[in-house]
Amino acid sequence: MSDDVIELRVDERVAHVIFRRPQVLNAINERFCQQLSGIFDTLEKNSEISVAILSGGQARAFSAGADLTFMRTLSGPSLRRFIEMTWLVFNRIARSHIVSIAAMHGYALGGGAELALACDMRIADEDTQIGFPEMTLGSVPGSGAVQRLPLLIGRARAIELILGGQKVRGREAESIGLINSCVPSGRSVPVAEEWGSRFASRPPEALRFMKAALSVGPDGNVGPALHGLISSICQSADGYRSNTHSFSRKSENR
């Protein structure tokens, strides 16, 4: 019997990364992290793939967070190593040149919410519940929420959600900028597929360099030189030249 807890399917230039631990609401353990990291190794080696959609499959959750049963077997150095592993794997997704979309439903709690934060975009069913319960249990989010959440919703609101531990549903999550789009129940994956197909039609090199540029930030010295280099590379491609020619012709005929 396969011990895979994540399924990878590829549809043209879009990869579907589907979590397969429904019995524990896609809780995150060491095997989950290892397979997720290995899947991104595979995707990054395939020049034909530029978008990945992460979803919770048939479980009642995108991911309910860390597998507490597994974590109770850890202590001291082994516990620290597992937390470090989750942080590094999620950060790997955030820094990958693959554009990632989290298609969320049900629960996205703790580490599950942090995994969604590591993705470039988030689409959630309206009944999705997103939260960071770690402080209510006496701990602190350890897989990226402390760093990423303030960038999305502001420092004060991030502190409120982390300290309070309350769950935020789809519509509110959209209104505060925690997710990109709230959709009717059962629609997060189909909408993510629509987005993925559209984004995957962009030139692969342009997508790759866009992700690289985003990771640099607004550095006043590095930024201009980097963007000059990126733009010159992208604009030297035949596809860019033909696209701009067609765009100019359409503009002239309006």
**Annotation says 134 is catalytic:** yes
Residue 10 lies in a domain: yes
The pLDDT, as a whole number, for residue 254 is 63
Total number of residues shown for the chain: 254
Q: What is the distance between the alpha carbons of residues 31 and 14, in angstroms, rounded to a whole number?
A: 24
231 shares a domain with 157: no
228 shares a domain with 105: no
Give the active site residue among 7, 48, 114, 126: 114
Q: What is the distance between the alpha carbons of residues 15 and 162, in angstroms, rounded to a whole number?
A: 32
Residue 191 lies in a domain: yes
106 shares a domain with 154: yes
Residue 252, pLDDT above cutoff 90: no
Residue 185, pLDDT above cutoff 60: yes
The pLDDT, as a whole number, for residue 1 is 41
- Domain containing 241: what range? 204-252
129 shares a domain with 45: yes
Least confidently predicted of 11-20, 171-180, 211-220, 226-235 = 226-235
Judged by DSSP in three states, 11 sits in strand
Query: Chain-wide mean pLDDT for the chain?
Result: 89
220 shares a domain with 105: no
66 shares a domain with 177: yes
Mean pLDDT calculated for residue range 39-54? 96
157 shares a domain with 131: yes
Q: Contact, 122 vs 55, CB < 8 A?
A: no
161 shares a domain with 46: yes
Q: How many CB atoms lie within 10 A of CB 21?
A: 21
21 shares a domain with 57: yes
Residue 180, pLDDT above cutoff 90: yes
30 shares a domain with 111: yes
In sequence order, which ranges of 96-144 are alpha helices (DSSP H)? 111-118
Q: Last residue of a domain, which of 200, 222, 239?
A: 200
**Which one, of 95, 168, 98, lies nearest residue 129 by Cα?**
168
**Tens-place pLDDT, residues 73-127:** 988 899 899 999 999 999 999 999 999 999 999 999 999 999 999 999 999 999 9
**Which one, of 129, 130, 122, lies nearest residue 192 by Cα?**
122
> Which CATH number goes with the domain that contains 162?
3.90.226.10
Task: Report phi then psi at 131, rounded to 5.
Answer: -165, 165
Q: How many domains does the chain have?
A: 2
217 shares a domain with 163: no
At 151, list the tokens.
Answer: 């960038």
**Annotation says 114 is catalytic:** yes
Q: What is the distance between the alpha carbons of residues 6 and 188, in angstroms, rounded to a whole number?
A: 18
Residue 32 lies in a domain: yes
Q: Last residue of a domain, which of 185, 200, 215?
A: 200
Residue 114 lies in a domain: yes
Give the active site residue among 134, 193, 194, 252: 134
Least confidently predicted of 109-118, 144-153, 154-163, 226-235 = 226-235
32: left (phi over 0), alpha (psi -120 to 50) or beta: alpha
163 shares a domain with 214: no
Residue 1 lies in a domain: no
Using alpha carbons only, give the angle 18, 23, 29 rounded to the nearest 5 degrees: 65
Classify each residue of 150-169 as buried b or exposed e, where b means 16 or more C-beta atoms within 10 Å of its C-beta.
eebbeeebbeebbeeeebbb
